[in-house]
Amino acid sequence: MKKHIGRLMAAAIVAVTAVAFASDASRADDVKDAAIAANKWKEIFRVGKAEDMAELLPASYVKDIEAIVHLFGERMDEELWTKGREHWGRIFVLGEKAKIIVNAMDDRDEMELDEKIVYIRWLRSLGKAGVAFAEDGALSLENLKIIKLPELLKAISPLTSALVTMPRGISNLGLEKYVLTNVDDAKINDDATVTFSNPYTRGLIFVNVEGKWIPKDLADGWERYVESSRENLARVDFRLEEMQKSKTQVLGAMASAEPLLKRLAAAKSSEEIKEASGTNPLRALFWLILMSFTQQ
């Protein structure tokens, strides 16, 4: 009898030990998988390469985004979208004048040469990316009705990259919390999430959703984001008289900016840029870009 009990106890100990080892191995695999994903997210937020995001998102998130974009394509006005993109193109092409814009911005010679070079390169990069965004056939209204997420992200990736890589772009866009210092320095939490070290916060937490490791704040806010996007699009119907009034106002706002755009496009020197903008030329450019996107 004692031998029988001893064998049972030994078997139980072996079973518990095996489960513990299996659990530890599973947790180690979770940390490893989360670290691989975190490294990829780190690069996306560092250089803004949006096209790499498609493979990192849960399948249901991909479907949500595609559904929202398709609905936008169905509800957006063709004339407004086409003229809006043409307007953006005329703004972004001014990036070709990066050198005289930066020199006009620094009329007191307060910027170091290295800083000027950074701004000039960035403005040229932003200009090229913006023009591509305005002209890419993938972003035509007809294609937006059927576009898949990888194609969409590939089309907007140059622009997101230019925005993130602007001088002090990480801080200006509030992306500091996604700057991971060392993805090998990870801690698995009791709720099966994984925390990575971050110099700006107490750590960036990743959670597994449908087999994909993503930032926890993205997962926590996803439902709210999708619901808000759908509610906003539900109010957009250009067959309604009130939306036609909005369309007229937006087209009028773009038309009112045309004289400034023409003056900036015609400028051939820093002095002419300053005279054309009537203010800091970079500020004038940002105002044009901001007005265009918010009016849309």
Per-residue pLDDT tens listing for the chain (296 residues)? 545 554 444 444 434 333 333 344 455 677 788 888 888 887 887 778 888 899 999 999 999 999 999 999 988 889 999 998 998 888 888 888 888 888 877 665 677 777 788 888 888 888 898 899 889 999 999 999 999 999 999 999 998 888 877 776 555 555 666 665 555 666 666 666 777 766 666 677 888 999 999 988 899 999 999 999 998 888 877 767 778 888 888 888 888 888 888 888 898 988 888 887 766 665 666 556 555 554 45
Helix or strand (DSSP H, E) at 123: helix 113-135
Helix or strand (DSSP H, E) at 292: helix 281-295
| Helix, strand or coil, per DSSP, at residue 27 | helix
Q: Which amino acid is at 46?
A: R
| Helix, strand or coil, per DSSP, at residue 186 | strand
Q: Which amino acid is at 271?
A: E
Tokens of 254: 């773009």
Q: How much is the pLDDT for 166?
A: 74
Residue 182: phi, psi to the nearest 5?
Answer: -155, 105
pTM of the model: 0.77
Q: Which residue has the tokens 């840029």?
A: 273
Q: How much is the pLDDT for 282?
A: 59
Distances, alpha carbon 39 to alpha carbons 53, 150, 163, 226, in Å: 12, 20, 20, 26
Q: How many CB atoms lie within 10 A of CB 121?
A: 14
Distances, alpha carbon 4 to alpha carbons 7, 10, 17, in Å: 5, 10, 20
Q: Under a CB-based contact definition with an 8 Å cutoff, are residues 141 and 81 in contact?
A: yes
